[in-house]
Structure 1
Amino acid sequence: MNETLAGFEQRRLAELKDHITTRAAAERDRRPRRRISLAVAAGAVAAAVATVATVTSMGGGDPAYAVSKDSDGIVYVTVRDFRDAEGLSRQLADLGVPALVDFVPAGQKCRDERGTVVTDVPRGLYYPPTQIPGDKEGLGWRMQIDTKLFKPGQTFVWTLEVDPVYGWTGTSTILMHDPVAPCVLVPDDRRHNVQTVSAWPATSLRGYEVGGKTVGEVRPEIDKRGLKVTYLITEPHPDSDRLPPEIARSVPYVMYPSKQNTPVGEDWFVWQADERQPGTIRLMVTPKLNGRAGVDQ
């Protein structure tokens, strides 16, 4: 499906605004989300369930996924663990959904050459995945698919990716013409936005401002507190001059997974820190600060 550059940039900007709105709501609730949320509501229709398949998760508790089909041909899917993507694909196929489900770890992506996208998707064939109500962990997805609306030679491709910056999960759903190539994992060379998120403060560095200091200045404080340190290597957002000021301030930097092995110098700048794991501080560092982020070099 062809798309003009201007249209693509407008769509990405809209997605970015929605993403930041979601993050702001999470901060207000003081319960940070750990994944991207696609907020598209789907009404549930009560019907007799003809078939149900569940698979227990590796750690017990809630099932990894549950798939059911009602007498009207609607398939309901609830997923909490995508690591058995192949098994979920088989269960969907058994219930009449021609599907490929892929799990993509952080730092990787599916190779682009997979097939041709269906542009005239029937209305109501499927709804984008939404959060599972009452899921306290926020790790699950649910969706519904109308098996009656598939045309011959079509495959539903459902991909879940782990964000390499924050570890939350994002999902994409695409209808494609057959044949669809399998997901071949390759190193992720895409640009990922890095936000200024006050919902994830470096709690162990509370009272010590890291923004604008060099790595050489911050490391002694971290060592004094007996903490370990890791780095997220970033660089100023290349489109910051074209973005609205509020967006540029919220997403001042980007990261590339392929550049994370770059040696970090003592003269590099720290602009944010978080504690992703207890006892380990992650410093977001860059050789050059972004003036629009509110800190000039």
Structure 2
Amino acid sequence: MTWAPCPDPIPGEAESVDAIEMVIVPRAVDLGEMEVRRALPSLKRQMVGPFIFFDEMGPAEFLTDQGIDVRPHPHINLATVTFLLEGQIIHKDSLGSDIAIEPGAVNWMRAGKGIVHSERTAPDKKASGQRLFGLQTWVALPEQLEESDPAFIHHGADELPVVDLGGGSARIIAGTSFGARSPLETASETLHVDVILPEGARVPIEVGVEERAIYTLSGTIEIAGQSFERGQLLILRPGDALTVTARSDARFLLFGGEPMEGPRYIWWNFVSSRKERIEQAKEEWRRGRFETVPGDEAHFIPLPETIGKPRLATGRSHA
């Protein structure tokens, strides 16, 4: 399908020039074979719409006998969204899900009242080596759905709409954008779009949802005369339309959604609107009361005892 663009912003107009509310440079953590860049939560901003956690994984080159090995660990009151650009990860969880996560697919794991999962490199990929590059984000659930039943939802790359941007493309991972809607059913109005632009291409970003952000994955983009390199989180001002121009071949993620009805607490892998619920989850994991991953009952990540108190995370509307 082809999408018709809207008018460009006008240089010099405040509503065009001030379209970027803030720029966040993620903090990088070297995990040995792979670097992870964490953009959310940050000191400047903790949430964008329902998104409370945003990690860029890699790109990393795993050689023979190397790979990721994230043992079973728990989550509550959130949904994880895994989207790969390169490579493969094997996801297993306490519901019995066992699936290879591959580029272009969306993998939505709703923890609800509690789920346990592992993420590992498949034996054949470990034997041959692979390049891994992807994103993992966490989405807070509306308060009334926090204690819902856990679920794992997968849509293959061929199920997600890809919109022709006149040389570039936009894969609609979640929500509605560029005239197309993802089949993924989310707990609240959520925007999640993978945009690829060749050098010189321009694409208007519609307003759509209240809170939006752009994360630059590769290349250089320009917005209202400002240039942004890869690895930057751009918080967009609510209600402003803008145009992104690719100054080189570029790729970025457009994401956001409607803000939550209130702030959330976050501690380790737990998110909740209630601080006492996190304390309860900590005790349940410590005592082995979560469901286990079938066939992987002997392995788990122990509760980290050195992390401080749960942090309060707020979006723009609750700052």
> TM over 0.5, yes or no?
no
More strand by share: 2
| TM-score, scaled to structure 2 | 0.25
